[in-house]
Amino acid sequence: MKLQLVKPGLEFLPEYKAALERDWSPDNVRGAVATREELEKIEADPAGFVALLDDPKAKGGPIKLPDGSTAPRLPGFRRWMWDGGFCGSIGLRWQPGTSELPPHVLGHIGYAVVPWKRGRGYAKRALALMLIEARGRDLAFVHVTAHLNNAASQAVIRANGGRLVERFLEPAAYGGNESLRFRIDLNVGVALILAHVPQEAADATER
C-alpha cells in the first residue's frame, strides 16, 4: 500500500499511541517532553486530543514553546502517515493573509517518521503530499527547516524543490542551535509536487 496522509481519527489512534509508547516523538524539538504530554492528553480525552490536531481556525489556544513559554497558536493541522499502519506525522501551519511566519514559528511544515519505517522514502512522499495541501491554503511558498547535522532531512526538502535561503540561529526558546532554512515555491513547482503523489491525487489536483 502506498503511503498516504490521513486525518487523525480515533480509528488510527491506537497505533499512534503505540508509537508514542515506543518513545517516538512527533516533535523533533521538544522530543520526549512532547511524547509524555501527548500520552497524558490521550489518556484524559482521546476524542478531544484527536480533534485538536485539526485546527485550521486556531481555536486550540496558545502553544507551548520548548523553553516552557507560550505563544499564539497559528491555524494548522496534522496528518498521519499511513501505509496500512502508522508511519509518522506531518504538520502544516500558516499565518492568515500572508506566506510569511511570525518569529516564533521556524517553518510551515514539520514532520517525523517512526524509526522502524525510515529509509522507505516516506518523508519525501509525505512532504510532497503536504505541499499540495499548502497550495490549497493559497500560500505562495513554504519554509522548512533542518538541523545542520540532519543530512537526511535536508535531502528530503531538496528533493521536493527546496532551496537553501539562510543559515540561522534558532531563537533562544528553541535552544539557539544553528539550523538551515529552505524555501519551496508553490507557484512554480506543480509538476515537481505531482511527481511524488498517486495518479488519482494528481488528477484531482489538476481538476
- CATH number of the domain that 174 lies in? 3.40.630.30
User: Tens digit of pLDDT for each residue in 90-107?
Assistant: 999 999 999 999 988 999
The closest alpha carbon to 201, from 156, 136, 148, belongs to 136
* Domain assignment of residue 108, given as a range: 4-206
User: Tens digit of pLDDT for each residue in 115-171?
Assistant: 999 999 999 999 999 999 999 998 999 999 999 999 999 999 999 999 999 999 988
0.85 exceeded by pTM: yes
| Domains contained in the chain, number | 1
Q: What is the pLDDT of residue 206?
A: 34
pLDDT at 76 over 50: yes
User: Tens digit of pLDDT for each residue in 54-68?
Assistant: 999 999 888 887 777
Do residues 64 and 47 make contact, with C-beta atoms less than 8 angstroms apart? no
